[in-house]
Structure 1
Amino acid sequence: MPLLRLTSIVSVKLKYARPKKGSSLLFFYRRVPDDIKPLLPAGSKYAAKTHYVVSLQTSDPKVAAPRIEKLLKQTTEEWEYLRNPTRAGVRRQAQQLLQRVGFDPMYPEETEEGALWAFEDYLEDQLPQSVREDRTIQHGHQLDRHLSPVHREALQVLQGRRGFTLTDCLDQYVAARPSTDKDARLVFGYLREFLGKDRDIRKVKRQDVNGFVEWLLAGKHSEDGKSISTTTVHRYLNTLRAAFSRAIRENELGLDNVFAAVEIRGKGKDAQQRHPFTVDQLKALHAAVGTWVAVRGWDQLRCIVTVLAETGCRLAEVVGLATADIHLHAATPYIDLKDHPWRSIKATGSSTVSTRKVPLTPRAIAALQAAHKLAQGSAFAFPQYTSEDACKSNSASAALNKWVKAQEGLQGAGLTCHGLRHTMKDLLRAAGCPSDIQDRILGHATPGVGATYGRGHPLEMLADWLAKATAPLATEGTARV
């Protein structure tokens, strides 16, 4: 550890820092641990090095210190990951080890015999001395428990004992699409439960898929035996189809996707119709919000339901708003709906658009002003339900639906928050709003190529039509902040 001179009388020793000959700059200098060298992928910045050296771009120890701390944290985390990787990481590192000797699991016969022997010798060197000397241990599966996860994986692949399991498929899919983590793990959990084990995906047959569908429809996945709708089954199958498709493509498995074009008995016939609110029911909803606010003050749920009723937005679009998405002081106040890491706007498709700006009515403005105060400086408009990790719109939906169904004038009507979106469609129609403007407000894609030309409708025009659509409700007043 070199002595770095700060002044003529003060010097310091700065760990992991060294000056370089012929330069006044300091360099981060850390030894690469021997145990991770065999685990390093080809092309790694640590590969074939005894020390990892990075310029700190300064000669001032006080400036260098925080940069050293950052690099120290980074290298420690990366090396620890190599030592204790995730399941997907284990598989990836094992494949990298095998690739170094030219072994391709898809074409094992093309690997040179000498290279295989050399690699087997290398794996043997990873075993404890007592195991190497034990002549009773002869088979690959007997060696597995004595090897590290990465070396065990490599041995299993080398000996043709390692397939591509449902868990591998899930991990690879979630790694590529982190937003699907919760839903994908739920569906794969059901599939593993049905199959009875973590099966190689190459051994999942079409009859298994058909049996899985019937198992779900019969409610056998649930402790209380409650069946699920055909729409939910369809959504589960879409997740599995996408995950299998990715696994087959990225790993060159050469399989047909057994989850493609699966038939679901009675699909759509059990779908429950979404009931829109009548004008009187919508007035009752606003009156219930007004009563709540007068007695208890605003809370996040009452803010959310008011914005839903006044904009026709999807629940997740409102719940997942960032504070920066809300523009209350613009000439025409609006919310800017766009993708975020914690919540993506419904993907572009045959009937949806991804991003849009929706103007705000006086009621919606009052609710969002109250939400701003409740958020207390948070980056999220509704921090009770949204964080950097997730948007808990389902939790908000469950709480709101329970509350809505208990309000005077709404009881027994089977109304839900999603019905507010259908209600706004009815209000816009009744106001004579042109279809393309309805689509722009609600986030539906207008048919025809021409609809994609230009900048779209002016925000003021959208605001005028929203004002006309909600005019029948104006007599009920607006809850105050």
Structure 2
Amino acid sequence: MPLFHLSSIMAVKLKHTRIKGNLIYFRRRIPEDIQSLLAASGSPLAGKSHVVVSLQTSDPRVAAPKVAKLVQQTDAEWEELRRPSRAGTLKQAHQLLTRAGIDVSDPTGSPEIALDLFHEYLDRRLPASVREDETVTSGKQLDQHLDPVHRTALQLLQDRREFTLADCLDQYVQARPKAAKTAKLAFGYLSAFLGSDRDIRNVRRSDVNAFVLHLLQGGHNEGGMPITTSTVNRYLNSLKAAFTRAINENELDIRQNVFAKVEIPNKGEDVQARDSFTVPQIQALHAAINKWIVSKGWDQLRCILTVLAETGCRLAEVVGLATSDVHLHAAVPYIDIKPHAWRSLKTSASTRNVPLTVRALQALKEAQALSKGSAFMFPDYTNEQGCSADSVSAVLNKWIRSREGLRDSGLSSHCLRHTMKDLLRAVECLESIQDAILGHATPGIGASYGKGYPLSILQEWLERALATAEGGT
């Protein structure tokens, strides 16, 4: 494990790395059990003892998040080889049949010699006692004697393979990991309502309409708490996307996606506008932060809250910052909001550079000192495995609502984002500049041309907006 010197007095060790020439390389040993599985799967890594990837940098601060992403990626790939998910099992079965020269979409139309050879191959996978048992004649009887991959291959070969809700979810999550959280919630409620073993070809529109009412009436949770129509719509969109992918990728005989164009009763009528901080409430928030700092000193939570108030960023965007995302010594100090393995972004427009005000700059300098050389700006709440933005939200919201001038206000850390939008509007900031600061997509073809606004312009408008909250003009 090489030692990297960040300064004359600070050095860090970066696991799974080596230095070759002027570049840092990711180098991780492949476990012995994985080496044999790679050989069986025909992987390009078969026969190798290490995964080696050039990180294309000599800066350990830039390399650290790349290493974290590669560790997460290799962990996921190895776990899938050891214990294939339903989607992984189906994928391996497809590969098995394809390598045998069998068309998965039309097995009976494949060359007869390929089918005969594959059946002989499956026979060899069976225990001798089963091969010699003349009473075992059907594919269903053989299923219990084959491992999951070969059992699935046989079912595909005989057109017996059901494609269940569980299959649909697993395949979708594997292909769209960023959409996993919402998909798992939506499928969890649907599976509890219909049964996880329901073949998606047997889901009817009447089932979907009943499911919508089930959610709206709170039948999906023990407390009977209904959910909003916007949340129901989000779940339906996730289910529709998963069903569409399953139908297309598996060539299922489904003429129309039952989750397309579903009507939600009274859609949008229950929308409640989020509150923003008033100017006195913003001032009360900063007074509370200053009082805390004087009494107890800076901590990561007060740093996070200050940056939220001064930038309008989403909570996860700040909590999930890598140290290399923060540029404190640039001509215009800024933070680089971009997706990471431990924290995705809400939309593609969320990727952006946000300039720092004097107060935000001070908070991030303190956070950097508190991080003690970590690859993460807020290591108490972010690591290679994930970003704990939800837990930070709960703690900050409780703290905000217990401060003088903010008690019983119902305000949250997310309200600071809406507050920034209002402050920018109040100083007549152009909509496109607001979008650049807040990470919203600007409508129109012209918005996609050029490199966007200079950081100095964004910083000027941020400072002008925040000046109104300080009693300025």
TM-score by length of 1: 0.78
1:201-216 counterparts in 2 under 5 A?
201-216=200-215
1:272-351 counterparts in 2 under 5 A?
272-348=272-348
Q: Residue 16 of structure 2 corresponds to which residue in structure 1?
A: none
8 Å contact from structure 2 (residues 303, 363) kept in 1:
yes
Question: Following TM superposition, by how much is the alpha carbon of 1:194 offset from its aligned partner in structure 2, in angstroms?
Answer: 0.9
Runs of 4+ in 1 over 6 A off after TM superposition: 35-38, 77-81
Question: Following TM superposition, by how much is the alpha carbon of 1:155 offset from its aligned partner in structure 2, in angstroms?
Answer: 1.9
SS in 2 for 1:146: coil
| Cα distance in 2, alignment partners of residues 128 and 238 from structure 1 | 46
Alignment pair present for 1:374 and 2:373: no
Query: 1:81 and 1:475, CA in 2 relative to 1: closer, same or farther beyond 3 A?
Result: closer
Alignment pair present for 1:257 and 2:257: yes
Q: Deviations over 1:169-204 (max 9, x none)?
A: 222222222223333222222211111232222222
Question: Following TM superposition, by how much is the alpha carbon of 1:117 offset from its aligned partner in structure 2, in angstroms?
Answer: 3.8
Question: Following TM superposition, by how much is the alpha carbon of 1:84 offset from its aligned partner in structure 2, in angstroms?
Answer: 5.0
Q: Residue 270 of structure 2 corresponds to which residue in structure 1?
A: 270
Question: Following TM superposition, by how much is the alpha carbon of 1:79 offset from its aligned partner in structure 2, in angstroms?
Answer: 9.8
SS in 1 for 2:335: strand
Query: 1:467 and 1:142, CA in 2 relative to 1: closer, same or farther beyond 3 A?
Result: same
| Cα distance in 2, alignment partners of residues 247 and 365 from structure 1 | 47
From 403, 406, 409, the equivalent of 1:407 is 403
Question: Following TM superposition, by how much is the alpha carbon of 1:418 offset from its aligned partner in structure 2, in angstroms?
Answer: 1.9
1:72-471 counterparts in 2 under 5 A?
84-255=83-254, 256-348=256-348, 353-471=349-467
What residue identity is the alignment partner of 2:432? Answer: D
8 Å contact from structure 1 (residues 36, 79) kept in 2:
no
Question: Following TM superposition, by how much is the alpha carbon of 1:283 offset from its aligned partner in structure 2, in angstroms?
Answer: 0.6
SS in 2 for 1:104: coil
TM-score by length of 2: 0.79
* Paired residues, number: 415
Q: Deviations over 1:365-384 (max 9, x none)?
A: 12112211222222111222
What residue identity is the alignment partner of 2:128? Answer: Q
8 Å contact from structure 1 (residues 323, 379) kept in 2:
yes
Question: Following TM superposition, by how much is the alpha carbon of 1:228 offset from its aligned partner in structure 2, in angstroms?
Answer: 1.5
Query: 1:272 and 1:124, CA in 2 relative to 1: closer, same or farther beyond 3 A?
Result: same
Query: 1:248 and 1:279, CA in 2 relative to 1: closer, same or farther beyond 3 A?
Result: same
Q: Deviations over 1:440-472 (max 9, x none)?
A: 222233344444443332222222222222124
Query: 1:178 and 1:79, CA in 2 relative to 1: closer, same or farther beyond 3 A?
Result: closer
SS in 1 for 2:149: helix
**RMSD between superposed Cα atoms in Å:** 3.1
Question: Following TM superposition, by how much is the alpha carbon of 1:406 offset from its aligned partner in structure 2, in angstroms?
Answer: 2.0
8 Å contact from structure 2 (residues 247, 253) kept in 1:
yes
8 Å contact from structure 1 (residues 40, 46) kept in 2:
no
| Cα distance in 1, alignment partners of residues 243 and 397 from structure 2 | 35
Query: 1:431 and 1:222, CA in 2 relative to 1: closer, same or farther beyond 3 A?
Result: same
SS in 2 for 1:335: strand
Query: 1:36 and 1:429, CA in 2 relative to 1: closer, same or farther beyond 3 A?
Result: closer
Q: Residue 10 of structure 2 corresponds to which residue in structure 1?
A: none
| Cα distance in 2, alignment partners of residues 80 and 471 from structure 1 | 52
| Cα distance in 1, alignment partners of residues 44 and 333 from structure 2 | 50
| Cα distance in 1, alignment partners of residues 431 and 102 from structure 2 | 60
SS in 2 for 1:358: strand
Question: Following TM superposition, by how much is the alpha carbon of 1:45 offset from its aligned partner in structure 2, in angstroms?
Answer: 5.5
Q: Which runs of 5+ in 1 are unaligned?
A: 1-30, 55-74, 477-481
SS in 2 for 1:285: helix
Query: 1:203 and 1:331, CA in 2 relative to 1: closer, same or farther beyond 3 A?
Result: same
Query: 1:295 and 1:36, CA in 2 relative to 1: closer, same or farther beyond 3 A?
Result: closer
Query: 1:380 and 1:129, CA in 2 relative to 1: closer, same or farther beyond 3 A?
Result: same
| Cα distance in 1, alignment partners of residues 85 and 186 from structure 2 | 20
| Cα distance in 1, alignment partners of residues 162 and 416 from structure 2 | 49
| Cα distance in 2, alignment partners of residues 451 and 84 from structure 1 | 46
What residue identity is the alignment partner of 1:261? Answer: K
8 Å contact from structure 1 (residues 170, 184) kept in 2:
yes
Q: Answer with 1 or 2: which has the greater Rg.
A: 1
Question: Alignment identity in percent?
Answer: 60
What residue identity is the alignment partner of 1:196? Answer: G
| Cα distance in 1, alignment partners of residues 247 and 91 from structure 2 | 16
Question: Following TM superposition, by how much is the alpha carbon of 1:208 offset from its aligned partner in structure 2, in angstroms?
Answer: 1.6
1:466-477 counterparts in 2 under 5 A?
466-474=462-470
Once the two structures are overlaid, the 10-residue window that deviates more, 430-439 or 408-417, is 430-439
What residue identity is the alignment partner of 2:191? Answer: R
1:54-73 counterparts in 2 under 5 A?
none
Once the two structures are overlaid, the 10-residue window that deviates more, 152-161 or 305-314, is 152-161
Q: Deviations over 1:199-236 (max 9, x none)?
A: 22222222221122111112122122222111111111
| Cα distance in 1, alignment partners of residues 324 and 160 from structure 2 | 53
Once the two structures are overlaid, the 10-residue window that deviates more, 403-412 or 431-440, is 431-440
Query: 1:104 and 1:468, CA in 2 relative to 1: closer, same or farther beyond 3 A?
Result: same
